[in-house]
Amino acid sequence: MREALHVIDNELYRLPYSATKEEVNNFKKLADKDLFQCPHCKAKLIVKYGDTKGIYFSHQHSEACEESRKIDQAENRYNRQIERETKIHNTIQAILYDEISNQAKNNTMIKVGYGYRAKPDLKEFPDIWVKVADREFALSVITNVNSLVDNKLSNTISKRHQYFLEQGMEPIWFVEKKEQAIEREKNSIVLWDAELTIAAKTNQDREWDSLLASLMKDTMFFKYFNYPVSTENIAIDVRSMYYIYSNEDRIVVKVQRFLKDRLVKPYRAFLLGDGYEIPFSDAVLIKNEFLLSNPTLEAQYQNEFIQKFKQLQFDFHEQQRIEKERQQQEEDTRQKLMQEMLQQEQDRRKKILEQVSKQKLQGNQERSSVSSYDDLKFLLKERIGLTQPQQMELWNIYMPKVGYKNSSMVWDLFIEHDCKSFNELRVVLQNFISVRR
Ligand SMILES: [Zn+2]
């Protein structure tokens, strides 16, 4: 039975996986002096070495105690669980463990351990288990997330999240994802399926809830951001994700907050700014609960968002004002043009009238300048007070026979016969039509 952990003076130690022959001998000598004991049954441990197993502890006569067997099995299950993870997973797990252990040294309320070791009876394990007073936290690191469409991994993680909750632990996830699917022009982030489930709700998120509640009193809020909100009465529920990546040889956590929105694919959420980066030590600082933020950067982040909101709000109303002005100008121009056209038409008719009176005075028989039925109507109204029924009679009975295009011919007949009334014109037209036939 391979046991890499042992206890010296109540502190837990882990043996190196590889060692020189000299180092192995040294460990063996220390073991002979009863230096190592099982962390569970406190029995004396001996040191062994195998080519494949490396250096390891064993109970005497290879009789491992039950607890240590159980943890060994848990470790095997845990190793299968993290098979898909990359190298960075171990690094971050170690950082998390160190950071929290350091805090635990000065705070007896905090207890920390590797998940499979602290809770060997679980079916699935958090990487790090933490207890703060009577709250338990399940910290997990997920690396190797490249695709938004990795449904299998997404399902696994969502289920694990649920399982941790059922086991009375509050899950916290760190996801190694280099790129977020951000639709900048819509101010939205499209979430990976699992993110909708695993996103955290911290005290900072609750602060954002109240900030948004006040900003969203402006009913145009989402219009300013051009965000296609999925429902009229969106519930204000801000969540946060913690993305990890290496930045100039440092591993950092990026805090990204969003307002939960769509619960069907695509899982679009309202993006709250660009988030900010913090070192791991800030992320896992414990004050009643995990801080998962940096107070200074958080205040700056909120302020930037408020400024952006105010700018967009101003731009939106300014744009509306300009558009209204443009429409008003367009309307004014249109009105002016109409007025001009009307004036032109009046001038034209006045000219015709003048010309016709001149012709009449001079007894001129030349072709008149009547060019349309409208002109004819107008002239007859001026001269003999053509009524609506008379006009209808002219249009329906005589024009078809004279020809609709021959309005000027009718006018010429009118002048030629010096008609004084519609009755006279009617007689002239009847004669004209019968002769033509
Ligand atoms: Zn034991």
pLDDT the model gives residue 39: 79
pLDDT the model gives residue 181: 87
* CA of 76 relative to ligand 1 center, distance in Å: 18
Give the residue from 118, 159, 153 showing the smallest Cα distance to 137.
Answer: 118
For residues 229 and 97, give the distance between their C-alpha atoms in angstroms, rounded to a whole number.
Answer: 40
CB 139 within 8 A of CB 130: yes
Average pLDDT over residues 107-129: 94
Find all residues with CB under 8 Å of 103, minimum gap 6, and list them: 110, 284, 285, 286
Q: Which of 162-171, 296-305, 349-358, 404-413 has the lowest mean pLDDT?
A: 349-358
Identify the residue with better confidence: 35 or 432: 432
Identify the residue with better confidence: 352 or 94: 94
How far from each other are the two terminal CA atoms of the chain, in whole angstroms?
128
Average pLDDT over residues 198-202: 94
Average pLDDT over residues 193-210: 93
Q: Which of 128-132, 176-180, 295-299 has the lowest mean pLDDT?
A: 176-180
Q: Which of 10-24, 39-53, 112-126 has the lowest mean pLDDT?
A: 10-24
For residues 100 and 94, give the distance between their C-alpha atoms in angstroms, rounded to a whole number.
Answer: 10
CA dihedral sign of residues 411, 417, 423, 425: negative
CB 255 within 8 A of CB 282: no
Q: Would the pLDDT of 278 be above 80?
A: yes
Average pLDDT over residues 125-141: 96
**pTM assigned to the model:** 0.71
* CA of 57 relative to ligand 1 center, distance in Å: 11
Q: Which of 149-153, 271-275, 424-428 has the lowest mean pLDDT?
A: 149-153
* CA of 6 relative to ligand 1 center, distance in Å: 10
pLDDT band at 321 (very low <50, low <70, confident <90, very high): very high
* CA of 60 relative to ligand 1 center, distance in Å: 10
> What pLDDT, in 10s, does the model give residues 333-372?
999 999 999 999 888 888 887 877 776 666 555 556 788 8
CB 125 within 8 A of CB 78: yes
pLDDT the model gives residue 65: 86
pLDDT the model gives residue 57: 81
pLDDT band at 14 (very low <50, low <70, confident <90, very high): low
* CA of 320 relative to ligand 1 center, distance in Å: 76
pLDDT the model gives residue 23: 84
* CA of 16 relative to ligand 1 center, distance in Å: 20
pLDDT the model gives residue 2: 47
pLDDT the model gives residue 118: 92
Average pLDDT over residues 108-128: 94
* CA of 43 relative to ligand 1 center, distance in Å: 6
Q: Would the pLDDT of 148 be above 70?
A: no
* CA of 58 relative to ligand 1 center, distance in Å: 9
CB 144 within 8 A of CB 176: yes
Average pLDDT over residues 180-206: 92
Q: Would the pLDDT of 129 be above 90?
A: yes
- What does pLDDT average to over the chain? 88
* CA of 124 relative to ligand 1 center, distance in Å: 23
Burial of 33 per CB tally in 10 Å (0-12, 13-18, 19+): exposed
pLDDT the model gives residue 1: 40
Give the max Cα distance, the chain.
Answer: 147
Average pLDDT over residues 188-192: 91
Q: Would the pLDDT of 32 be above 60?
A: yes
Dihedral angle computed from the Cα positions of residues 5, 7, 10 and 12, in that order, rounded to the nearest 10 degrees: -30
pLDDT band at 7 (very low <50, low <70, confident <90, very high): low
pLDDT band at 27 (very low <50, low <70, confident <90, very high): confident
